[in-house]
Amino acid sequence: MRGRLHPALPVEGATLAPMIAMKPSYLDLSKSAWKIKIEEAYSLLEGCRVCPRACGINRLEDQRNGICRSGLRPVVASHNIHMGEEPSISGARGSGTIFFTSCNMRCVFCQNYPISQLSNGNEVEVEELARMMCSLKERGCHNINLVTPSHFVPQIIKAVSLAKEDGLDIPIIYNTSGYDSLDSLKLLEGIVDIYLPDMRYADKDYSLRYSGVANYPAVNRAAVKEMYRQAGDLITEDGIAIRGLVVRHLILPNNISGTDEVMHFISSELSKEVYISLMDQYFPAYKAHELPELSGRITKEDYDKAFRMMIGYGLENGWVQEHIEA
């Protein structure tokens, strides 16, 4: 989960891919393809393996004792127009964000902990989730931005299929911590147009200590590679993202985020054309103030060093943020 993105600046020298007339991929899915995807996705809820936690509970029977504490129905904290994303995502009319309640991670520094950890939100039927998507389109949003969606993939697939029948025709963004299962991601192929994952850690000891998942780096890298296989490099139309991958990397104090290794992976395993959102918005939220190594903001020197690492690996596409001293 994340808080509001501060105004972002394009990396000097970066250029967006040329305009290409392109419609959202899900508009081309046949009814039979939708049916297969929905059936396969909902089968993941029985002995739940929707996300990498693979808790094994039966969410089809509304069991809620897994890591995400979620049952059969989606739980939504809010749905609204959001202007604080990257420029090509928010644009002039905003991104239609739907914030899902709960999370499959336990980040001690989560800025949205009332939603992710305290489970503030309202349970809704899938049909209502579809109506939220359509209402955001009607309000003029450039896209539907699904925030922390990893534990509700089956419900999202069904909701998008219903919303499509009611006229939804704008890109779907999958805005995630990056701790995603390959089974779920493969079902999202042909539905999600833009993947917006975090690459939060390079070290499994840090991911276990601060987010409760030891296998985050391995799972995250496999997930991001699959996202890139599906979506490729960022494509825009009139400056607005319509397809592709954007990787977010939040700079944590004391190099806990492993920036050098993350940038090396992106450059060598994905592409030097990948767009990076280098985020300078960490502050010690939730339980972070209890941990000396996470109790302060990063410095301008920390952020500048991360930027130099990014550029050093030939990653010149993306956005940086102006550092503001606390």
Average pLDDT over every residue of 28-50: 98
Higher pLDDT, residue 16 or 39: 39
How does pLDDT run across 111-133, given as a tens digit for each residue? 999 999 999 999 999 999 999 99
Q: Report the pLDDT value the prediction gives residue 285, as an integer from 0 to 100.
A: 96
How does pLDDT run across 278-321, given as a tens digit for each residue? 999 999 999 999 999 999 999 999 999 999 999 999 999 999 99
Tell me whether residue 326 is in a domain.
no
The CATH code of the domain that includes 144 is: 3.20.20.70
Give the number of residues written for the chain. Answer: 326
Smallest CA-to-CA distance from 303 within 229, 253, 269 is with 253
**pTM score, two decimals?**
0.94
How does pLDDT run across 202-254, given as a tens digit for each residue? 999 999 999 999 999 999 999 999 999 999 999 999 999 999 999 999 999 99
Tell me whether residue 101 is in a domain.
yes
Q: Report the pLDDT value the prediction gives residue 6, as an integer from 0 to 100.
A: 39
Q: Supply the mean pLDDT for the chain.
A: 94
Burial of 200 (0-12, 13-18, 19+ CB in 10 A): buried
* Apex 132 CA angle, 134 and 32, nearest 5: 60
Q: Report the pLDDT value the prediction gives residue 323, as an integer from 0 to 100.
A: 81
Tell me whether residue 33 is in a domain.
yes
Half-sphere exposure of 16 (CA within 13 A, CB side): 20
Q: Cα dist. 106→60, 103, 109, 256 in Å?
A: 24, 7, 9, 16
Kindly report the number of other CB atoms within 10 A of residue 6's CB atom. Answer: 14
Q: Which residues pair with 147 in a beta bridge?
A: 99, 175
Smallest CA-to-CA distance from 200 within 211, 189, 191 is with 211
Smallest CA-to-CA distance from 22 within 195, 318, 231 is with 231
Integer Cα distance of 142 and 62 in angstroms: 34
What domain range includes position 62?
8-321
Tell me whether residue 95 is in a domain.
yes
Stated as kind and residue range, the H or E segment containing 244 is strand 240-250
Cα dihedral: 283, 196, 22, 133 (round 10): -80
Tell me whether residue 3 is in a domain.
no
Count of domains for the chain:
1
Q: Report the pLDDT value the prediction gives residue 244, as an integer from 0 to 100.
A: 98
Q: Report the pLDDT value the prediction gives residue 325, as an integer from 0 to 100.
A: 73
Smallest CA-to-CA distance from 143 within 99, 190, 89 is with 89
Integer Cα distance of 224 and 180 in angstroms: 9
136: which residues sit within 8 A by CB, 6+ positions away? 79, 80, 81, 96, 98, 144
Tell me whether residue 2 is in a domain.
no
Say what percent of the chain tops pLDDT 90: 92
